[in-house]
Amino acid sequence: MKPIFRVALGGIVAAALVPWATIAATLGGPAEEQRAVNWTAIIIFAAFVLLTLAITRWAAQRTRTAADFYTAGGSITGFQNGLAIAGDYMSAASFLGISAQIYMDGYDGLIYSTGFLVGWPILMFLMAERLRNLGRFTFADVASFRFAQPPVRIFAATSTLMVVAFYLIAQMVGAGQLIQLLFGLPYGYAVVVVGVLMILYVLFGGMTATTWVQIIKATMLLGGASFMAIMVLARYGFSPEALFAGAVEIKTNLAAAAGATADEAATRGRSIMAPGNFIKDPISAISFGMALMFGTAGLPHILMRFFTVPDAREARKSVLWATTWIGYFYLLTFIIGFGAIVLVAAEPGYLDADGALRGGGNMAAIHLANAVGGNILMGFISAVAFATILAVVAGLALSGASAVSHDLYATVIKRGDSAPGSELRVSRITTLVLGLVAIILGILFENQNVAFMVSLAFALAASGNFPVLLLSLLWIGCTSKGAVVGGFAGVVSALILTILSPSIWVDILHNEEAIFPYTSPALFSVTIGFATIWGVSMLDRSARAAIDRAGFAEQRVRAETGIGASTASGHGIASFKPTRQSAEPI
C-alpha cells in the first residue's frame, strides 16, 4: 500500500504546485475568460493539502483493522471529537451559504443559523449516550439493534446514500465556485480536484485521517471567521445596532439607485431586518425549521462520529464541545453576512456587469475577507473555505462507504460471514465510486445555493433516519416492519416533494409552476415518517414483531448503562448471525 500512497501523494502535490493559470488556459478555454490567479490562496491551500496528506500517510500506518478504518479504534477524546464534529458540521453551506443568504435576504438567513444549531440539544439529551452504547460503526447498528437486520440495514444504507448525495452536491458547488473565482481555473477542474483529494483521505487514512483533517480545518475556520467578524464590528464601534443600521441604509440606497421611489426604497431597506424575504409563509418557516432541527439528529456522517470515542461519557462531552463551537460559529456568520452587505454590496469591484456578486452568489464571505483584510486575508479565507469542503466531503464519503460495505455487503449480503479484509475492500471501491458520483453531481448543480442544497439533505435525514432512530430507541411498540416501511415512506416522500418543489421543478427542470409550493417538505414528510412507523407497528402482529418488542428491555439496559457496549461485536437477534469482530487486516 505504501508505494501506491507515494504515487498518489506525488500526483496530488504536483497538481497543487504546477502553474495553475496554465492549466486553466488549457482546460477552460480562452485565457481572457479566466480570472486572475490568487497566489496567496494557492500557497495556503497547497500547504494545507501537504499537511493533511502527511497526516493521511501517518494515519494509514496506524489503520490496521476495521475498527481503525471506521471509528479510529475508539481512541478519539471528547474534546477532539467535539472539535472534529464541529469541523464536519461547519461545511461550505455554513460558511459560504449562510453568509450569502444573509447578504441576500438579511434577517431571514438567521433561520439557517438557528435551525442548524437547535438540533444539538436533541442529540445531547436523547441520543448521544445511547448511540455510543448501542452502535459500533454506523447508525444502522443502533437502529437495527432489536430488529430484523437485513431490511433495516437496507433502509439505513439507502437513506444514508441519499443524504450523502445531496450533501456532496453543496460541497462540490462551493468548491467549484471558489476555484473559479480565485485560482483562475474552470469550475469542472475544481470539482475534480476535490473529488480526488476526498478519495485519497478516505482510501488510505480512514477515520483517523478524516478526524484530524476536521480538527485542523475547524481551528483554521474559527480563527479566520473570528478575525473577519472583529474587523467588521470594529468599523462600527463594536455596535451590532450600528452595523444593522448601515446595512439598512445600503439596501435602501441600492433600491433607490435601481429606480424605486423613496418610500419603496425605504421599505426594501427595512425589509432585511424582518422575516419574509426568503421564507414567505408560516408553513415554509415551520417546515424549514423542522428539517434543520431534526435533520441534525439524522445525519449519518455526524452520527458516525459518536462511535470514535471510548465511552458514553466522552460521547456526551463531544456534543457539549461541538455545540459550543458551532453556536459560536453561527453567531459569526450573522455578522459576516451583514458585514458583506455594508462593505461589499455597494462596491463595484466585487460585482459583475449585472450587479451580482462576482464569482457567484455564494461568494459574499470571500469578498468581505478582501474588503477587511486585503488579498492576504482573502487568500487565507479562500483556502480555509476550500479546506472546509475537502474535510466535509471526506467525512461524507466515509459514511457512504461504510453504509455500503458494513451495512449492505458484510451484514446483508454476506450475513456476517464476509472473508477477512473483504469488507474494507468493498469500502474502498465504494469510495472511488462516490468520488466519481460527487464530481458528476457537482457539475450538474453548479448554480444552486449551497446552504439550500444542504437543507434538502437535512429534510431527507429528518424524514427517514430521525423517526426510525428515535422510535426504535424510545418506543417499545416499534417493530422491524414499522421501522422499514415508515422510514422509506418518510425519505421517499421527502425526495418526491423536493423534486416537485420550486427549487428543482422550476429552477432546474424549468417548468413554469411548481406542483409542491413550499421550499422544504419536512413538515409533511417527517409527519408521514412518524405516522407510518406508528401505524404499521400498531398493526403488526407477526412473530417477528413479538421478538422486536421483547428485545426492548435488553436494548434499554444496554443503552442506559453501557453494559456490554465495549465487547459487543454484533447485535444479532433471533437467527441472525452477528458480524465478525472488527479486527480484519487491511
Is residue 12 in some structural domain? no
Q: Are 505 and 511 in contact (CB under 8 A)?
A: yes
On average, the pLDDT of the chain sits at 80
> CA-CA distance, 114 to 20, in Å (whole number)?
39
Task: List Cβ neighbours of 4 (8 Å cut-off, separation of 6 or more).
Answer: none
Residues 100-118: what's their mean pLDDT?
Answer: 84
Q: Has residue 576 been placed in a domain?
A: no
Q: What's the mean pLDDT in 27-42?
A: 52
Half-sphere exposure in the Cβ direction for 427 (13 Å, CA): 31
Q: Determine the 3-state secondary structure of 148 from DSSP.
A: coil
What pLDDT was estimated at residue 35? 52
- The pLDDT tens digits for 317-338 are 888 899 899 999 989 998 999 9
Is residue 210's pLDDT more than 70? Answer: yes
**In which band, very low, low, confident or very high, does the pLDDT at 249 lie, cut at 50, 70 and 90?**
very high
Task: Dihedral sign for Cα 32, 38, 39, 43, please.
Answer: negative
> What b/e sequence results for 24-55 when a residue is b if at least 16 CB atoms lie within 10 Å of its CB, and e otherwise?
bbeebeeeeebbebbebbbebbbebbeebbeb
The pLDDT of residue 243 is above 90 = yes
In a domain, 84, yes or no: yes
Report the distance separating Cα 503 and Cα 491, nearest Å.
Answer: 18
Mean pLDDT of the 290-317 span: 85
pLDDT tens digits along 462-477: 999 999 999 999 999 9
pLDDT of 16 > 80? The answer is: no
Higher pLDDT, 22 or 526: 526
Domain total of the chain: 1
Q: Give the range among 236-245, 325-334, 372-381, 479-488 with minimum mean pLDDT.
A: 372-381
**pLDDT single digits (tens) 156-167:** 999 999 888 888
Query: Which pLDDT belongs to residue 181?
Result: 67
14 in a domain, yes or no? Answer: no
Q: Which domain holds residue 223?
A: 48-60+68-455
* Per-residue confidence (pLDDT) for residue 551, from 0 to 100: 92
Q: Which residue would you say has higher pLDDT here, 20 or 525? A: 525
Per-residue pLDDT at 569 exceeds 60: no
Residue 305 within any structural domain of the chain:
yes
- Residue 534 inside a domain? The answer is no
Q: What is the pTM of this model?
A: 0.79
- Which domain CATH number covers 128? 1.20.1730.10
Is residue 154 predicted with pLDDT exceeding 50?
A: yes
Which residues neighbour 468 within 8 Å (Cβ) at sequence distance 6 or greater?
Answer: 143, 152, 155, 156, 483, 486, 487, 529, 533
At 49 the pLDDT is 78
DSSP 416: T
Give the model's pLDDT for residue 584. Answer: 37
d(CA 462, CA 526): 6
